[in-house]
Amino acid sequence: MGGFSYANKPQPSSSLPPKRVVDYVTIYDFLRPLIFSLEPEFAHRLTIRSLLIGGRWFRHVEQDDPKLAVSAMGLRFSNPLGMAAGFDKDGEVPDSILDLGFGFTEIGTVTPLPQMGNPRPRVFRLPGNRALINRLGFNNKGQEMLAARLTKRSKKEKNSLGSGVLGINIGANKNSSDRIRDYGTGARNLSHLADYLTINVSSPNTPNLRRLQSREALTDIIDQVSSAAPNVPLLVKIAPDLSDQDLENVAEVGLDSGLAGIIVSNTTLDRPPSLDKKYGREQGGLSGSPLFKKSTRILGKMYRLTKGQITLVGAGGVSSGEDVLEKVRAGASLIQLYTALVYEGPSLIKKIKHDLLHLLEREGFETITDALGTDDGKK
């Protein structure tokens, strides 16, 4: 989508696309005031609808540069950028998302039974901070509906390049009598339709869910899920608000149980003083720029604790090629983002990949994987 302008100077020593000196002006820059005049959840619904109807129109059909390819968890990703969970909760548009240029997309969080989530309003924009606060509370249409939808998908052509990886993020129902069992149910219902499964125990919007990050609960959940889905890579998504002791516990459980990956991180309960006054005190999880430093610091700690034996997925406030490289250097093999797309629009993915290739060259890395963990211990 829209109007990229590149400087016209040839760059003789590089096979890369020319470095951009004029900033992007995209169609989204014109649409943003209109979109931001709408209630955030309504605007999100409209975005999903446009992807459903016109997904192919937004298509970004370039093959990714092989320098951006990542092999992790037994899967091949054509680039390290993924759509984070929460955008496509019910798996309505996975292929349109992949067609925007993502290397992978994560559907969910989806719970065994459908549920409404918390009362509205429950999503708030903080434009001065390039941030969002949400307290959606796992609103989703349930796993039966998702399985039916994805079964149809698997019979059709997938995304245009046929290369996108699809993860499914599973959670527990708010009123479940046995939340731990809900994760096993999710694995049974959906693992055959996923390239990987994420156990979400870090949403701040389901009361007490984060307690499932404790050593005992997490061990039980991983046991249940891995016996229901022995052949699918398993990831756990953690909160950025965990103490050092909690992080050590998660790392130990992960290493002992053969976890394939850890996503660092979900949204934070922190409320930095610099947040926009209007919605800065709303309850829920804060995402976007104010989360970047904290989530990257936790990522670095987790990288040291897991000694490179578990794939780490960095999420939290990523909005540029520089941000991606910083998370990769802190230990992330893969990256997810969500909030920055609300502010920058879908062409951000192409821009990040373009900038990343230039950054790799500038920093002397042959491929993205060469940069992995190169900041170990420094941050």
CB-wise, 185 or 319, nearer to ligand FMN? 319
Shortest CB 338 distance to ligand FMN, Å? 4
* Token representation of residue 249: 């516990």
Minimal distance, residue 318 CB to ligand FMN, in Å: 5
Nearer to ligand FMN, 73 or 365 (CB): 73
Q: Which is nearer to ligand FMN, 311 or 365 (CB)?
A: 311
Nearest residue relative to ligand FMN (C-beta): 86
Provide the annotated active-site residues. 203
The nearest distance, CB 125 to ligand FMN, in angstroms, is 10
Nearest distance in Å: CB 213, ligand FMN: 13
| Coil/strand/helix, residue 4 | coil
Q: How far is the CB of 198 from ligand FMN (least distance, A)?
A: 7
Q: How far is it, in rounded angstroms, from Cα 203 to Cα 86? A: 11
Whole-angstrom distance, CA of residue 205 vs CA of residue 308: 31
Helix axes 215-228 and 244-257, enclosed angle (nearest 10): 30
* Contacts of 347 by beta carbon, 8 Å cutoff, 6+ apart: 1, 2, 4, 24, 26, 28
Compute the distance between CA of residue 64 and CA of residue 267 in angstroms, rounded to an integer: 29
Pairing of strands 131-134, 75-77: unpaired
* Interface ranges with ligand FMN (CB under 6 A): 84-86, 89, 108-109, 123, 132, 134, 136, 169, 200, 203, 237, 266-267, 287-288, 291, 315-318, 337-340
Secondary structure element (H or E) that encloses residue 262, with its range: strand 261-264
Q: Name the β-bridge partners of 72.
A: 75
Instruction: Find tokens 């520089």 and name the residue.
Output: 322
Alpha-carbon dihedral angle through residues 324, 329, 333, 334, given to the nearest 10 degrees: -10
CB of 203 or CB of 333, closer to ligand FMN: 203
Nearest to 233 by CA among 313, 162, 302, 159: 313
Closer residue to ligand FMN, CB minimum distance, 327 or 365:
327
Tell me the pairing of strands 131-134 and 285-288. antiparallel
